[in-house]
């Protein structure tokens, strides 16, 4: 297992945790994790990379070891601004190779369309976007948000590390005991009561009052200048966010048409956490694309 090192930097008023792998003089590859995940989640795919890379992966605000802002809700544009600040900090004068998984993929895709000159190549792992919304949903969405703000959200604690391992394997049965044990150490920490608490701000559970405007997102996507490698997992269940499998496939294919330069790959025997399930295959695809 390749060793990583932690760095803490202050950006946009937040104490942010950045995980690094590899020689700082090697070519940079930025990796952006998904919702309820952490930067260390990329360990297995970093291990699978054959060439020398300086992999730079942040914990998003309110996740992992990055500070949680004092908020009741999280706003998606903040992640885009955080990414902009991170790239400016580590690669102010050079376009970057950028990989994002799930929420991280959605952040990376929008960012690459907003600042196309900042991204050289882009790898999107299951960053399909959110379900389409309609204006008539706005009153109900605002009401739901207001109702949630009346309660203090919480995340479940676990009695010990073994329970965290079991929780991870329940979500993803493909996880080996070894990989689940590694992830559990980075996904949780021991609190003063001796329990394991998840390294995520419970405020992430609150809804956003803002609707997802897919037309705005696609306007960003079609402005991407970088070649895009779009990777899906054959056994993913993320389609449930969009509708039935048939509806999701049609909508995903429609959205992909807005990306000017796109290569698509499908990884078999993998679910949504494909960087855990098939890191060796994913590593080869990444390096072939970046070569």
Assign 68 to helix, strand or coil: coil
For residue 216, the tally of other CB atoms under 10 A from its CB is: 10
Asked, for residue 159, whether it belongs to a domain, the answer is no
Beta strand extents in the chain (DSSP E only): 4-11, 14-21, 28-32, 54-58, 96-101, 119-125, 188-190, 196-198, 228-233, 262-267
* pLDDT recorded at residue 19: 98
Below-70 pLDDT ranges, the chain: none
Residue 156 within a domain: no
**CB within 8 A of 62, min separation 6: which ones?**
68, 69, 74, 200, 201, 203, 204
> Model-level pTM?
0.96
Residues 6 or more apart in contact with residue 173 via CB below 8 angstroms = none
The Cα–Cα gap between 162 and 2 comes to: 24
188 found inside a domain? no
pLDDT of residue 262: 98
Best CA proximity match to 33, nearest among 134, 93, 107: 107
SS3 content of the chain, % helix, strand, coil (to 5): 40, 20, 40
Q: Which residue has the tokens 């790959």?
A: 265
**Structural domain of 88:** 4-133+213-290
Report d(CA 228, CA 215) in Å as an integer. Answer: 19
Place of tokens 């855990």: 276
Q: Residue 249 is part of a domain; what is its CATH number?
A: 3.40.50.1820
Number of domains in the chain: 1
- Whether 185 is covered by a domain: the verdict is no
Report pLDDT for 170. Answer: 96
What's residue 241's pLDDT?
A: 75
Cα 290 to Cα 193: distance, rounded to the nearest angstrom = 46
Residue 162 falls inside a structural domain: no
Cα distance between residue 267 and residue 281, in whole Å: 8
pLDDT at 245: 84
b/e per residue 93-112 (b: at least 16 CB within 10 A): eebbbbbbbbbbbbbbbbbb
Q: CA 31: distance to chain centroid?
A: 8
Contacts of 55 (CB under 8 A, 6+ apart): 20, 21, 22, 28, 29, 30, 31, 42, 46, 49
* Residue 267 belongs to a domain: yes
Query: Which residue is associated with the tokens 């996740």?
Result: 63
Q: List, for residues 3-12, the tens digit of each pLDDT value.
A: 999 999 999 9
Domain assignment of residue 227, yes or no: yes
140, containing H or E segment: helix 138-149
CB distance 133 to 247 below 8 Å: no
**88 inside domain:** yes
Q: Quote the pLDDT of residue 244.
A: 82
């Amino acid at each position: 297992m390749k060793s990583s090192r932690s760095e803490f930097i202050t950006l946009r008023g937040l104490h942010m945790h950045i995980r690094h792998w590899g020689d700082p003089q090697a070519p940079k590859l930025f990796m952006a994790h998904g919702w309820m995940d952490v930067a260390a989640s990329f360990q297995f795919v970093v291990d699978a990379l054959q060439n020398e890379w300086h992999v730079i992966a942040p914990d998003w605000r309110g996740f992992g070891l990055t500070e949680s802002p004092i908020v009741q809700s999280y706003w998606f544009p903040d992640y885009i601004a955080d990414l902009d600040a991170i790239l400016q900090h580590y690669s102010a004068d050079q376009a970057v190779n950028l990989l994002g998984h799930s929420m991280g993929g959605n952040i990376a895709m929008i960012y690459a369309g907003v600042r196309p000159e900042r991204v050289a190549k882009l790898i999107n792992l299951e960053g399909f976007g959110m379900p389409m919304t309609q204006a008539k949903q706005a009153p109900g969405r605002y009401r739901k948000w207001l109702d949630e703000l009346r309660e203090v959200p919480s995340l479940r604690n676990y009695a010990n590390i073994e329970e965290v391992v079991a929780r991870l394997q329940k979500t993803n049965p493909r996880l080996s005991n070894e990989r689940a044990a590694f992830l559990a150490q980075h996904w949780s920490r021991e609190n003063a009561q001796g329990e394991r608490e998840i390294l995520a701000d419970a405020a992430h559970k609150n809804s956003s009052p803002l609707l997802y405007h897919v037309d705005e997102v696609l306007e960003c996507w079609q402005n991407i200048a970088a070649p895009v490698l779009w990777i899906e997992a054959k056994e993913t269940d993320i389609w449930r966010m969009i509708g039935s499998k048939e509806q999701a496939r049609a909508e995903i294919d429609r959205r992909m048409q807005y990306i000017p330069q796109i290569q698509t790959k499908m990884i078999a025997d993998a679910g949504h956490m494909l960087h855990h399930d098939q890191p060796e295959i994913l590593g080869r695809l990444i390096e072939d694309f970046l070569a």
